[in-house]
Amino acid sequence: MTDFGYSSDYEVYLTRENGVQIVTNDLSLAILREMRYHEITPTNVAMEFEVSKSTIQASITKLLRMGIVSQEENVTDSRSVVYRIDSALLFTSDTDIEWQMYARRASAKRIMKTGRCTSREDLSLYSVSLTESGLNVVQGLFAVGSALTRGYDGYDYWPVVVEDIHQQCERRGIEVEVSVKDGVDFHFKSEEEDISDVPLIIVPMLGSLISNSKKVFSYNLVNDVQLTVSDSGHDVRMHINPFIGQDYRKKPFLLTNINQYRVNEPFAIYSIGGEATLFTNTTMMSVLYALSDGDNSANGLSETIGIPKATVYAAIMKLIEMGAVAVDKSSNSPKNYKLLADPILYCREPESNNCDRLDSIVNSFQKGEIDYYSAVISYAMESIRCMGIHFDKMFTRAGKSMAQIILELNPSMEPQEFLDSACTMVSVPDNLEIVTLIPLKLRIVLAQNTLWESWPGDFTKGYVAEGLKQLTGDDYKIRIETVRQKS
């Protein structure tokens, strides 16, 4: 963990026994990135990085202690061992993703064309909201896909995956080619539709394929995907390489106890200028969280979070230097401070006291009771709920971004027409209705089998507020009521 309380380079893992672990050390991060593609020994990494073997061994030993990596005897040299990742990578700051700027536009066009959001668009919008903030969730979605298909027989699974991909693509007029040579290749092409969001919705499926690759192909695949998007989002190619190293079988990553999901050290991630920065300093996190509810002075922040003013002021000065906070120049004495950074996630005590709902989601998906897209987003949100990780402040921002795209595509849209469009942004079987216009009140009715709650309401709030502000120039007070259907 970083000593100074924040870092722009990090990886967050869920381990088998030690809960959530965070890595910010540069050398450890470099070692882990190598491990995604091949197993390592301290000797070969020391030669590649041009550092001493003892330095490499010290970093690996710490990763072993954290439960992130595992070791096995080297079959070619019984005097040494090899190391590989043995945990689920949830989030990373490594965001070299060219297509993220196109994905939301693709979803917006599809919603406008069909007249209603679907669970597919939910998954796409949910994922792109994270990636555009500078947070890479591809590896986390790999882990979700692997969890949803646990217990599948590898030999039967591959044709099922290929057939499912072909069926989904054919329904949408997307041509797809799948080939197996030096890994796995997928080529998606559409003459009519922008499909740049295909990677976001197929990544969990690839994660399940990677976890079963030993059974399917008789060799392991790397835990990463190479991606190219071209022709304005009409052509998407994805490739997964073979994992380089000695033969091994992956142990099922099955966590059954809520304690296994524990967050050992609370953290928060905020996007500063498009870069997702991780914070572990408690004062900084408290200041950022308090300012997300509105501008405030140093005195006010000190009273709100119960920390001495001098400590709060020191944190504010550092956050201003980072570009996360700014002085409100229109304020008099005392000065008010405003939040510039966009909140992505923060930690609180877990809302759940068990993880039984995770098993029910897997069972419902494997029985065909819920579709693939709903299963992925439900499992992802239930997992983070077990960890006590919250994204709700980001969902409102995601709605604002969607409103901007919709108005760019429809510059002549009238306020009432835009307000009506909000009803199409909530996916079936959930529903949104306009209760009153003055004051503006909306009601979201969640279906019985909906397993997420904050996403629809927070997203809609941001969508309506931003759209009406752009169209009318006014800030509307919006009340959103969320209820769940009764049996």
Q: What is the CATH number of the domain that holds 33?
A: 1.10.10.10
- Nearest one of 326, 296, 299, 331 to 312, comparing CA atoms: 299
pLDDT tens figures, 245-294 = 887 777 777 888 898 999 988 999 998 887 889 999 999 999 999 998 88
Are 336 and 242 within one domain? no
Record the pTM: 0.85
CA dist 306 → 4, 270, 283, 299 (Å): 21, 22, 10, 10
Q: How confident is the model at residue 79 (pLDDT cuts 50, 70, 90)?
A: confident
Assess if residue 1 is contained within a domain: no
Instruction: Verify cis geometry, omega within 30 degrees of 0, for the bond prior to 429.
Output: yes
Are 239 and 175 within one domain? yes
Are 250 and 283 within one domain? no
What's the average model confidence in pLDDT over 463-484?
89
Q: Which has the minimum average pLDDT: 97-101, 159-163, 328-332, 381-385?
A: 97-101
Assess if residue 365 is contained within a domain: no
- Residue 273 φ/ψ, nearest 5 degrees: 60, 35
Distance CA 299, CA 307 (A): 10
Total number of residues shown for the chain: 487
Are 249 and 290 within one domain? no
Assess if residue 362 is contained within a domain: no
pLDDT tens figures, 415-455 = 999 999 999 998 888 889 999 988 899 999 988 777 666 77
pLDDT tens figures, 287-314 = 999 998 889 999 999 999 999 999 999 9
- CB proximity list for 435: less than 8 A, separation 6 or greater: 441, 442, 443, 481
Assess if residue 482 is contained within a domain: no
Q: Which has the minimum average pLDDT: 90-104, 114-128, 460-474?
A: 90-104
The domain of 191 spans: 145-254
- Is the confidence at residue 154, as pLDDT, over 70? no
Are 249 and 288 within one domain? no
- Partners of 73 in the beta sheet? 81
- pLDDT value of position 1: 37
Distance CA 72, CA 85 (A): 11
- pLDDT value of position 102: 67
Q: How confident is the model at residue 97 (pLDDT cuts 50, 70, 90)?
A: low
Assess if residue 303 is contained within a domain: yes
Are 159 and 248 within one domain? yes
Opening angle at CA 455, ends 454 and 456, nearest 5 = 100
Distance CA 43, CA 61 (A): 14
Assess if residue 459 is contained within a domain: no
Q: How confident is the model at residue 2 (pLDDT cuts 50, 70, 90)?
A: very low
Name the average pLDDT for the chain. Answer: 86
- pLDDT value of position 216: 83
Are 227 and 159 within one domain? yes
Are 239 and 333 within one domain? no
From 314, 340, 366, the end of a domain falls on: 340
What's the average model confidence in pLDDT over 315-328?
94
Are 179 and 218 within one domain? yes
What's the average model confidence in pLDDT over 211-232?
85
Which residue in the block uniquely carries the two structure tokens 């990090």?
10
With pLDDT > 90 as the criterion, what percentage of the chain qualifies? 38
Assess if residue 296 is contained within a domain: yes
- Is the confidence at residue 230, as pLDDT, over 60? yes
- Residue 79 φ/ψ, nearest 5 degrees: -80, -10
- Is the confidence at residue 471, as pLDDT, over 70? yes
Distance CA 1, CA 281 (A): 11
Are 201 and 230 within one domain? yes
* Side-chain-side CA neighbours of residue 411 (13 Å): 1
DSSP secondary structure code for residue 473 in this structure: S
- State how many domains the chain has: 3
- pLDDT value of position 311: 94
227 and 138 in contact (C-beta within 8 Å)?
Answer: no
DSSP secondary structure code for residue 460 in this structure: H
From 320, 340, 360, the end of a domain falls on: 340
Assess if residue 162 is contained within a domain: yes
Distance CA 177, CA 185 (A): 8
Q: Which has the minimum average pLDDT: 137-141, 174-178, 234-238, 365-369?
A: 137-141
**Selected residue with higher pLDDT from 101 and 138:** 138
CA dist 27 → 33, 47, 277, 331, 360 (Å): 10, 14, 18, 44, 40
Buried b (16+ CB within 10 A) or exposed e, 113-130: eeeebbbbbbbbbbbbbb
Distance CA 123, CA 409 (A): 21
- pLDDT value of position 338: 93
Residue 69's SS3 state is strand
What's the average model confidence in pLDDT over 397-411?
89
Q: Which has the minimum average pLDDT: 123-132, 215-224, 331-340, 438-447?
A: 123-132
- Is the confidence at residue 340, as pLDDT, over 80? yes
From 340, 370, 390, the end of a domain falls on: 340
Q: How confident is the model at residue 60 (pLDDT cuts 50, 70, 90)?
A: very high
Are 249 and 149 within one domain? yes
Distance CA 24, CA 36 (A): 17
Are 151 and 248 within one domain? yes
